[in-house]
Amino acid sequence: MDMIDIIRTKRDGGALGTDEIRWVIDAYTHGRVAEEQMAALAMAIVLRGMDRREIADWTNAMIDSGARMRWEGSVDKHSTGGVGDKITLPLGPLVAAHGVFVPQLSGRGLGHTGGTLDKLEAIPGWRAELSEAEMQAAPGGFVAAATADLAPADRKLYALRDVTGTVDSIPLIASSIMSKKIAEGTDGLVLDVKFGSGAFMTQRDDARELARTMVELGNDAGVRSCALITDMSTPLGRTVGNALEVREAVEVLAGGGPADVVELTLALAREMLTLAGVDADPADALRDGHAMDAWRAMVRHQGGDADAPLPRARHTHEVRAEHDGYVTGLDALEVGVASWRLGAGRSRKEDPVQAGAGIEIHAPLGTRVRRGERLLTLHTDTPERFERALEVLRPVIGDTPPAPRTLIHERIG
């Protein structure tokens, strides 16, 4: 086929045929399509979009570029990413405590949103790289790095999109996420699609369109799928950063933790258990300790020591209220960028992260505070980072409390 003709078709608003899409993905994966040509096609897709059949064909072609896994009777969860989003950590053990296998192939953070693997690697000894035999032997489930042979076309294409300004496309985002999730081979999938300043999708309508597209792709492929549309305008929970978020996740598993983290964890757990055909209230497993038992077993299986002290940053800096009032503004993007600048995130995939870096939130949105009270504590091993982090942090103190936050807005699927 002629790549130039394919680029022109999409550039002019036409639909690509199934055979054309399969040829493009295969040829690009194996180096027969030049990077600049694929970049041109990706930009044409960003500008012109794709219809449902094209998105499905694109997704299937990326799945078929590599191997498939199979986990009988399993359910997975995927979040589109946010600030303080540590939900995967308590959620997997909570669902596993009900006898449902939860295999989760995850990634590391890039930019202001933290990666699940980075958080778990703060646990002494814990490792993300597992063989398939180790995955099969996991007690209730695992969180591991995706293997290189799982949707390799997506791995290559995402790296190209990241440097060519072509990430912001619902068809390409949906096919990227779902090609890996479908290839992963679970029976069910619950999606947490976020919107707000700290999310990939800032507008609720865009989040809804992305959720519907992914749910359709999953269901069409035989993976029972649903999605929750959730708010990410302010950080989730009271911590942002790797070891800090692990500590908070353990609090949830022990029956405590911030109300919003508990609410979202339980809501997603109920969806996952429903897809697995289990009629149970997941809150019971938090109260009776079964979720904590599952957490300890899963951490131990991946070499981690659940009893070892988590890393702590060597330096801290407190942000205090300048006057009395209510916290009416605590922007998720600002907190995420500040945490990233403190060392909790990376600019490039090969950059290291500081396990103890991040931000503690003492006064979340809506809190009544007095002048001089702590609002935030910043953590880092490199104190010269404080200045740049403080440049973007602008918590707002007002005279009247803000409207109550709605965390879960709707369900799709």
Give the Å distances, CA to CA, from 157 to 42, 62, 353: 9, 10, 25
Q: The CATH number of the domain where 392 resides is what?
A: 3.90.1170.30
Catalytic residue selected from 78, 119, 290, 341: 78
Query: Percentage of the chain with pLDDT > 90?
Result: 91
In a domain, 54, yes or no: no
Confidence at residue 374, expressed as pLDDT on a 0 to 100 scale: 98
In a domain, 403, yes or no: no
CA 245 → CA 135, 159, 253, 259, 383, distances in Å? 24, 28, 12, 15, 21
354 and 250 together in one domain: no
The model's confidence at residue 351, banded by pLDDT at 50, 70 and 90, is confident
Which is nearest to 338 in space by CA: 319, 318, 358, 324? 358
Q: Does residue 362 share a domain with residue 232?
A: no
Confidence of residue 261 (pLDDT cuts 50, 70, 90): very high
Looking at residue 111, its pLDDT comes to 66
**CATH at residue 221:** 3.40.1030.10
DSSP category for residue 235:
-
- Region 288-311: mean pLDDT is 98
User: Are residues 146 and 277 part of one domain?
Assistant: yes
CA distance 207 to 229: 7
Asked if residue 251 lies in contact with residue 216, where contact means CB atoms within 8 angstroms, the answer is no
**Which residues contact residue 412 at a Cβ distance below 8 angstroms, ignoring those fewer than 6 apart?**
193, 208, 211, 212, 215, 226, 227, 228, 229
Arithmetic mean of pLDDT, 136-163: 92
Known catalytic membership, residue 78: yes
Q: What is the pTM of this model?
A: 0.94
State the pLDDT at residue 350. 72
- 78 alpha carbon, distance to own chain's centre: 6
If you average pLDDT over residues 255-265, what whole number do you get? 98
The answer, yes or no, to whether residue 336 has pLDDT greater than 90, is yes
Taking alpha carbons only, the member of 242, 248, 247, 241 closest to residue 264 is 248
Helices (H) and strands (E) in the chain, counts: 16, 13
Inter-CA distances, 386 with 21, 293, 345, 372, Å: 48, 38, 14, 19
Q: How far is CA 187 from CA 131, 218, 225, 255, in A?
A: 21, 10, 9, 29
The average confidence (pLDDT) of the chain is 95
258 found inside a domain: yes
Are 264 and 376 part of one and the same domain?
Answer: no
Q: How many domains does the chain have?
A: 3
Lowest mean pLDDT among 77-91, 160-174, 275-289, 366-380: 160-174
Q: Is the pLDDT of residue 103 over 80?
A: yes
Mean of the pLDDT values across residues 282-302?
97
Alpha carbons within 13 angstroms on the beta-carbon side of residue 368 total 1
In this structure, are 247 and 383 located in the same domain?
no
pLDDT at 52 over 70: yes
Kind plus residue range of the DSSP H or E element containing 393:
none
In a domain, 57, yes or no: no
Query: Are 40 and 82 found together in one domain?
Result: no
Instruction: Tell me whether residue 249 is in a domain.
Output: yes
Task: Judge residue 347's burial from the number of C-beta atoms within 10 Å of its C-beta, 0-12 exposed, 13-18 middle, 19 or more buried.
Answer: exposed
- pLDDT score recorded for residue 227: 98
pLDDT for 257 = 97
Q: Give CA–CA dist 339/250, Å, rounded.
A: 21
Name which of 86, 110, 78, 82 is nearest 245 in CA terms: 86
Are residues 125 and 199 located together in one domain of the fold?
yes
Residues 326 and 386 in one domain: yes
Domain boundary among 243, 273, 301: 301
Q: Pick from 301, 329, 353: which residue ends a domain?
A: 301
Catalytic residue among 57, 154, 260, 331: 154
Measured between alpha carbons, how far is 302 from 129 in angstroms, rounded to an integer? 9
Q: Assess if residue 209 is contained within a domain.
A: yes
pLDDT of residue 108: 75
Per-residue pLDDT at 110: 64
In this predicted structure, the answer to whether residue 349 has a pLDDT above a threshold of 90 is no
CATH code of 17's domain: 1.20.970.10
Query: Which of 346, 347, 342 shows the shortest CA–CA distance to 357?
Result: 342
Per-residue pLDDT at 296: 98
> Is 154 among the catalytic positions?
yes
Q: Beta-carbon neighbour count of residue 22 at 10 Å?
A: 18
User: Is 292 found in the same domain as 351?
Assistant: no
pLDDT in tens, 220-255: 999 999 999 999 999 999 999 999 999 999 999 999
- Which is catalytic among the residues 98, 161, 238, 290? 161
- State yes or no: is 349 an active-site residue: no
Whether 245 and 335 share a structural domain: no
What pLDDT sits at residue 352? 86
Catalytic residue (one of 180, 208, 290, 301): 180
Phi and psi at residue 375, to the nearest 5°: -100, -45
State the Rg of the chain over Cα.
21
Name the residue range of residue 37's domain: 3-49
Q: Is the predicted pLDDT of residue 116 greater than 70, yes or no?
A: yes
64 carries an active-site annotation: no
Of the residues 240, 268, 301, the one at which a domain ends: 301
Position 148 pLDDT exceeds 90: no
**Using alpha carbons only, what angle is made at residue 374 by residues 334 and 395, rounded to the nearest 5 degrees?**
25
Q: Are residues 84 and 134 in the same domain?
A: yes
Residue 62 lies in a domain: no
- Closest C-alpha among 230, 214, 245 to residue 113: 245
Distance CA 340, CA 99 (A): 37
> How sure is the predictor about 168, in pLDDT bands with cuts at 50, 70 and 90?
confident
Instruction: Tell me whether residue 69 is in a domain.
Output: no
Distance (Å, whole) CA 247 – CA 310:
8
Catalytic-role residue among 74, 176, 179, 225: 176
Pair 178, 217 in one domain: yes
